[in-house]
Amino acid sequence: MAKQAENKSLQKLANLQRQHKGLINLMPLQTGGMLTDAAREVLMEFGDGYSVCDFCQGSLCNVTNPPIRDFVQELLPQFLGCEVATITHGAREAKFMVMHSLAKPGGSIVVDGNKHYTTVVAAERVGLNIIEVPNSGHPEFSVNVNDYAELIKKHTPTLILLTYPDGNYGNIPDAGRLGEIAQEYNIPYILNGAYAVGRMPVNMEEIGADFIIGSGHKSMSSAGPVGVLGMKKKWEEAVLRKSGTHSNKDIELLGCSVRGVPLITLMASFPYVRERVQHWDEQVPKAQWFSAELEKLGFKQLGEKPHRHDLLHFDAPVLYEISKRVRERGYFLYKELKERGIWGPQPGLARSFKLSTFAVDEEQLGFVIDAFKAILNKYS
């Protein structure tokens, strides 16, 4: 690399700043991951390298100071409704480790048509065939879990997985019904709750799943990346199997997973997160009201109606029309919202975009609705 380019790249590292700090945040990937004050404090406290491992006795989930053991072995199972829990680098890494433990290359997995792309990539990494239960298509894109049964009979897969809710439409499929189907066919059932665990009440046992997966940075007020994996006791021996030569080391975690600060933020935020899921009944009407208000502006909410999650997907033909005739193209929406102190749709998207109402109150949402009105007026 030329010296000049190198210096320029180094210079950029000297001033790393986040452009969206302090804005009203409607970004679905981010609204459930904003840190609590307690989490901010532990960022500094445990920021240095391997700080969480000061009192390591050989296994991350057994560390008693800080109280990782209590958190993972007592609080998390109770919270997730499972018998055994562990910490992963994130939801995708949890999916991979379950698939890698239970399935063999050439095996197959049945997944919902609204699965996250990482479900596919994790299955590819293991070498699994992916069989998809299609969604209902535009505009609801809903998944009928009864459709799993036929595909299970036809393909005899090793595993099934359901995304609850999905990250594209915020649809909440009938996870409990799929639990019955899983039991009927005696097939291990993974519930990917990256947008559920930490936002809304969800209980693996009640649903009848074998595995439940959550994301710290998506929905548990944690720094990224960190995830949680809960399971039935019967799977512990397979998924948390120990090394043949190092008997206290989990093979699938390569010994220990998140040996650093994201885990501590997850722990520091947990009392708050545990409490906030009890207030989910305030989140749903807020999202529905916001959706209805945006529909009055000519936007069209995709996914289930009435909607039962804060993640909302809109088609916005009126904004698309504007984007076709302005210099910034699709970026005009990002720019207009940012100027009004709002961060939400992915930069570049105007025709169709996702928003989450999770982190803001009705007053702020009113401000957002007014901002959309003002933008429409400006370009009309």
Scanning residues 270 to 329, which ones bind its own copies (CB under 8 A)?
270-271, 274
Residues numbered 2-61 forming contacts with its own copies, rule: CB under 8 A = 5-6, 9-10, 12-14, 16-21, 27, 29-30, 32-35, 38-56
For its own copies, which residue of 63, 66, 86, 167 counts as binding (CB under 8 A)?
A: 66
Running DSSP on this structure, what letter comes out for residue 20?
T
Measured from the CB atom, is 257 or 291 closer to its own copies? 257
Kindly report the number of other CB atoms within 10 A of residue 317's CB atom. 11
By CB under 8 A, the residues from 93 to 132 that bind its own copies are 93, 96, 100, 117-118, 120-122, 124-125
Site for its own copies in 205-224 (CB under 8 A): 216-218, 221-224
Under 8 Å between Cβ of 30 and 167 = no
Cβ contacts of 165 within 8 Å, gap of 6 or more: 171, 172, 173, 195, 196, 308, 309, 311
Q: Which of 236, 237, 347, 374 is the binder for its own copies (CB under 8 A)?
A: 347
- Please state, in angstroms and as integers, the Cα–Cα distance from residue 242 to each residue in 211, 258, 293, following that order: 19, 17, 54
Q: Does 225 bind its own copies (CB under 8 A)?
A: yes
CA angle 228–121–159, rounded 5-degree value:
65
Angle at 91 between CA 204 and CA 198, to 5 degrees: 55
Binding status of residue 75 toward its own copies by CB under 8 A: yes
Binding track, positions 234-253, relative to its own copies; x by CB under 8 A: ---------xxxx--x-xx-
Q: Does 338 bind its own copies (CB under 8 A)?
A: no
Residue 332 CA neighbour count, 13 Å, CB half: 20
Peptide bond into 165 cis (omega under 30): yes
Select from 111, 207, 261, 302 the one that contacts its own copies (CB under 8 A).
Answer: 261
CB of 183 to its own copies, least distance (A): 26
For 73, residues 6+ apart whose C-beta sits below 8 A from its C-beta are 61, 85
Options 172-180, 262-270, 310-318, 320-328: segment touching its own copies (CB under 8 A): 262-270
End-to-end CA distance of the chain: 49
> Least distance in Å: CB of 53 to its own copies?
7
Q: Which of positions 143-182 make contact with its own copies (CB under 8 A)?
A: none
- Nearest CB to its own copies, comparing residues 6 and 295: 6
